[in-house]
Homo-oligomer: A and B are copies of this chain.
Amino acid sequence: MSLLTVGSVAFDAIETPFGKTDKIIGGAGTYIALSAAFYESNQKIVSVVGDDFPKEMLDKLASVGVDLEGLQIKQGEKTFFWSGRYHNDMNSRDTLVTELNVLENFDPIIPESYQGVDYLILGNLSPQVQRSVIERLEKRPKLIAMDTMNFWMDIALDELKKTIKLVDVLIINDEEARQLSGEYSLMKASKVIRAMGPKYLIIKKGEHGALLFNEDKVFFAPALPLEDVFDPTGAGDTFAGGFIGYIASTDDISFDNMKRAIINGSAMASFCVEKFGTEKLLTITKQDIENRIEQFVALANFDMVQTTVG
């Protein structure tokens, strides 16, 4: 099935306790598309870069099946740039620099060839831009997933709520779920947030795994315990990309299949954090992913029926 990703294609500069990068390639759209590409080869992207963005990465995206017709390249302008520094626990970070550049006046253009797309994921962007994409699609996709962040809750809550109302799956982290709902308990938060529109809510808890809520059902996917978390940048987007890529490739939005999609997303995220930026995602194979999925099965699987007695 076809999958459309909307999200930033950008530059990042990252400092962690393990090291520091110069400008490297990042952006929610990049991570989502690269991650989803391991599952779905019929991809499209709506985004914008400046003329400073390296052609090699665009070629890479094209080579894994991402149609770039909706990726605007603005001559004489600069690509979005973010720089941040992670604290020692790797769970919190300070933003050092944010240069919106081409994102400042981003007006998403949907090429005619994108119309009729089956699945849509909206990476973290202004809620107005996210909503405009939904409105510009002539036929509603089978499933719309959306990421956002606390920044939009702080400065554009009403706009955000208007967009959230239109989507099927909202993907946010635990702090954001608490802020958006005003509830500390994630069980209570999930009810408040799903009353805003999305039938499905995924709450990411970083190293503590992820929760999926739908109606009266809850599923928990652990994160893989890792010896080292090298760089968490893009882990949430990579998770979302694995999730929606798996859904699009299997064309199955049952709750059981969403569980599998979340395990795949968690596996993809576990790779992402092992190197800086997109480095690891560019080197793994499908076999690596299958091996990691087996680790998740061993990690989380139990059988309550005792078959042998010591």
Contacts and interface: CB of A to CB of B under 8 A. Distances in A.
Interface of A: 88-89, 184-188, 205, 208-209, 211, 217-222, 225-229, 250-254, 256-257, 259-260, 263, 293, 297-300, 302-304, 306, 308-310
Contacts of A256: 302-303, 308
27 contacts: A89-B184, A185-B225, A185-B227, A185-B229, A186-B225, A187-B227, A209-B209, A211-B225, A217-B298, A218-B225, A218-B298, A219-B299, A219-B300, A220-B225, A220-B299, A221-B302, A250-B309, A251-B309, A252-B306, A252-B308, A254-B308, A256-B303, A256-B308, A259-B302, A260-B306, A263-B304, A300-B302
Contacts of A310: 250-254, 257
Given A208-B205, A250-B306, A253-B310, A187 B260 contact: no
Contacts of A218: 225, 298-299
Given A298-B217, A302-B300, A309-B252, A226 B187 contact: yes
A73 to B, nearest CB: 36
A39 B256 CA distance: 32
A157 B222 CA distance: 32
Nearest to A225: B187
A172 to B, nearest CB: 15
Nearest to A294: B304
B209 A222 contact: yes
Nearest to A190: B225
A228 B217 CA distance: 18
A222 to B, nearest CB: 4
A119 to B, nearest CB: 11
A286 to B, nearest CB: 14
Contacts of A293: 304
Contacts of A308: 252, 254, 256
Given A89-B184, A254-B310, A309-B251, A260 B304 contact: yes
A209 B225 CA distance: 13
A67 B225 CA distance: 41
A80 to B, nearest CB: 32
Contacts of A185: 225-229
A229 to B, nearest CB: 8
B227 A302 contact: no
B257 A220 contact: no
Nearest to A206: B208
A219 B302 contact: yes
Given A298-B217, A300-B302, A222 B222 contact: yes
Nearest to A303: B256
Interchain residue pairs A-B with the least CB separation, the first 8: A252-B310, A208-B208, A259-B302, A220-B222, A187-B227, A187-B225, A251-B310, A252-B309
Contacts of A229: 185
A110 to B, nearest CB: 25
